[in-house]
């Protein structure tokens, strides 16, 4: 209480001093200007766009080592496929898998997960009468510990076995960084089995042969002979001898949009 009373007295005295009539000295001191230092905005700058995470594609092939599918006369044409995933989250976004008879059974391959490096599926493709298992979903004691594969069917004795899965990342093509023109004249458009093929010339007359999505082929009547502004993206295409899917993809840089200038 004494300390509080003493502090009150000091404040009162100071206030009384401030209330005194100022001296006849008219000289006034100009307060110093505080220099403002502007801090550059970084994280708060909403104009900086964060690039979309890349999507990776991986082809895989199964080598069966035991069971009926390992027999010389099994005539296996499938047991392969590919998947795409987000390397940032390591989440599978799509799986395409062909069984031993080249039937697309992708709809049965649900809730697949990946190894930490993105190379290696874990999970099952469960269908009426049997299942295919990948990675840590393989329970057979004879299955290899890494890149494991297993199958089990109710077709009688011998309807089960194991194997090994080989994973091969689909590499980005050499032309991914090539300086394709942003504005060019469309000279020719040809539809192929796995993509559309476009011939371009720039303002200097230099010619380019570029792949495109099938949607560009559908716009052929409106694009031929026109000067257009082009957009490109890295895109997966079937790496097959024909238009029929074969369970394997490669990655190409394709025209995905063309607008008349």
pLDDT at 177: 58
Contact 67, 161 (CB under 8 A): yes
Q: Is the pLDDT of residue 167 over 60?
A: yes
Torsion of CA 187, 190, 195, 198, to 10 degrees: -10
Least confident of 37-46, 142-151, 193-202: 37-46
CATH of the domain at 252: 2.40.50
Q: Is the pLDDT of residue 136 over 90?
A: yes
pLDDT at 158: 64
pLDDT at 21: 38
Residues 254, 184 share a domain: yes
Domain that holds residue 209: 174-260
pLDDT at 53: 47
| Mean pLDDT of the chain, nearest integer | 80
Asked whether residue 45 is assigned to any structural domain, the reply reads no
Residues 132, 77 share a domain: yes
Beta bridge partners of 169: 58
Q: Which among 69, 94, 241, 60 has a CA at the least distance from the CA of 167? A: 60
Asked whether residue 147 is assigned to any structural domain, the reply reads yes
Residues 122, 145 share a domain: yes
pLDDT at 73: 83
Residue finishing a domain among 107, 134, 169:
169
pLDDT class for 76, splitting at 50, 70, 90?
confident
Residues 180, 145 share a domain: no
- Under DSSP, the state recorded for 93 is E
pLDDT at 48: 44
pLDDT class for 41, splitting at 50, 70, 90?
very low
Buried b (16+ CB within 10 A) or exposed e, 35-61: eeeeeeeeeeeeeeeeeeeebbbbbbb
| Across 159-186, average pLDDT | 85
Asked whether residue 165 is assigned to any structural domain, the reply reads yes
| Across 43-58, average pLDDT | 57
Q: pLDDT digit string (tens) for 87-121? A: 999 999 999 999 988 899 999 999 999 999 999 99
Summarize the chain as % helix, strand, coil (round to 5): 15, 40, 45
Residues 72, 157 share a domain: yes
Residues 182, 143 share a domain: no
Q: pLDDT digit string (tens) for 179-229? A: 889 999 999 999 988 899 999 999 999 999 999 999 999 999 999 999 999
Its pTM stands at: 0.69
């Amino acid at each position: 209480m004494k300390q509080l009373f003493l502090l009150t007295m000091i404040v009162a005295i100071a206030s009384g001093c401030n209330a005194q009539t100022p001296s006849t000295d008219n000289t006034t001191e100009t307060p110093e200007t505080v220099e403002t230092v502007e801090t550059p905005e970084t994280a708060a700058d909403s104009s900086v766009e964060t690039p979309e995470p890349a999507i990776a594609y991986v082809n895989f092939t199964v080598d069966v080592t035991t069971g009926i599918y390992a027999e010389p006369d099994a005539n296996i044409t499938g047991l392969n496929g590919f998947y795409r995933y987000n390397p940032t989250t390591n989440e599978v976004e799509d799986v395409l898998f062909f069984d031993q008879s080249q039937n697309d059974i992708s709809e049965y391959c649900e809730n697949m997960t990946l190894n930490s490096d993105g190379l290696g599926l874990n999970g099952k493709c469960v269908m009426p009468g049997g299942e295919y298992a990948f990675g840590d979903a393989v329970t057979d004691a004879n299955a290899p510990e890494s890149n494991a594969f297993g199958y089990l069917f109710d077709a009688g004795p011998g309807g089960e076995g194991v194997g090994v899965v080989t994973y091969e990342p689909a590499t980005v093509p050499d032309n991914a960084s090539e300086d394709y023109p942003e504005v060019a004249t469309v000279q020719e458009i040809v539809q192929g089995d796995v993509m559309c093929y476009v011939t371009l010339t720039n303002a200097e007359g230099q010619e380019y042969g570029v792949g495109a999505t099938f949607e560009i082929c559908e716009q052929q009547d409106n694009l031929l002979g026109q000067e257009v502004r082009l957009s490109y993206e890295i895109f997966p295409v079937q790496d097959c001898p024909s238009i029929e899917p074969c369970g394997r993809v490669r990655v190409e840089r394709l025209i995905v949009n063309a607008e008349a200038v």
